[in-house]
Amino acid sequence: MVECLVLPGIGGVAVQCLLLACCVGVFVFKRKKEEKRLGPEARSKEEFTLDASKQFASAAWLHCMNLGFASALNTLMAGGDECGWYWINIMVDTTLGTAVAYVLLLIANAFLKKKLTPAAAEEFRSGEYKADDGYISMKRYMKQLCLWLVVVSFMKVLMVLFMFLFSGPLMGIAGFVLAPFLSEPWLKLLVVMIAFPLVMDSFQIWMVDNFIKKRETHAIQGTVEDLEAAPELDGFYVERSAEALLILSERCEEAAEEALPYLRTKCDEAMHADKSTEFAGSAAKKAYPTANFETQYKFQTIIPPDQAIVE
């Protein structure tokens, strides 16, 4: 049976373009439904576009990581193929990974509130793009985009660790689900890269948009804010995790401050040593202008060993 490979030529690229178009359709559908339910003023088109762009940026980054991890896991672990590992990546990222990204975003926001001033931390608050003058600030958007990419990167690392630890059961599940499509590699490729991603990515887009957009006073967002503030709920663990992260960052800063003078001293010593060598060489050339200091002398014996007189 021919092995199923992810993105085999131009056909795979066309498959990804089709999937991208379907994801855009999900965003448009969600926008229309939100306008009908909450009104057009609930979230402006500019804010919606910025929220969607963060998801597209993270999806592109995760897609590249998925392709790399699919090939790496297929090489390191026996059994399965790239399509199987790609399917596992998609399923894990869109289910468990979505929940982990949500928790990591809460921890990151709580950490920034403790680390920065309230005004600086507010700029990282997801979905809050407008500055004090009421206009959208691209500086805020870039900060939130960078934070979100860091969050999804850490999420992906955790998911890869999860897949490595539970590779056996996960490959068994993948083999069972994909078994009806094993006869034709192209059919398996379409199922892995179109059918399942379309359903699961739509679910992930919908859920992620709910917690990266601007928080309002309605029920869903109120629940999120209560989760951050109430220590008796899961917000307690978020606060403890943020405090642990704050302590870790302080320890790293202290270690960097202690190591910086040592590194600076070593750099100064190396620079002074180079200058001393250069000065000595220039001084010797001034003292002996006709001397050739680059000549390498070769010494030979006057009488070769085979012609030596043995007494």
Which tens digits make up the pLDDT trace of 39-64?
767 788 888 889 999 998 988 888 77
Q: What is the mean pLDDT of the chain?
A: 76
| Range in 111-115, 224-228, 290-294 the model is least confident about | 224-228
Q: Is the pLDDT reported for residue 168 higher than 80?
A: yes
For residue 39, the tally of other CB atoms under 10 A from its CB is 9
Q: Determine the Cα–Cα distance for residues 35 and 30; give it in Å rounded to an integer.
A: 9
- The vertex-302 CA angle with 298 and 307, nearest 5°, equals 125
**Above pLDDT 70, what percent of the chain?**
70
Buried b / exposed e along 118-155 (16+ C-beta atoms within 10 A)? eeebebbbbbbbeeeeeeeeeebbebbbebbeebbeeb
Q: Is the pLDDT reported for residue 297 higher than 50?
A: no
Q: Where are the domains of the chain?
A: 10-248
**Rounded to 5 degrees, what are φ and ψ at 295?**
-75, 135
User: How many alpha carbons fall within 13 Å on the CB side of residue 100?
Assistant: 18
**Rounded to 5 degrees, what are φ and ψ at 230?**
-85, 115
Structure tokens at 271: 């620079």
Report whether 84 contacts 70 (CB < 8 A). Answer: no
Helix 96-115 crosses helix 138-165 at what angle (to 10 degrees)? 130
- pTM of the predicted structure, to 2 decimals: 0.72
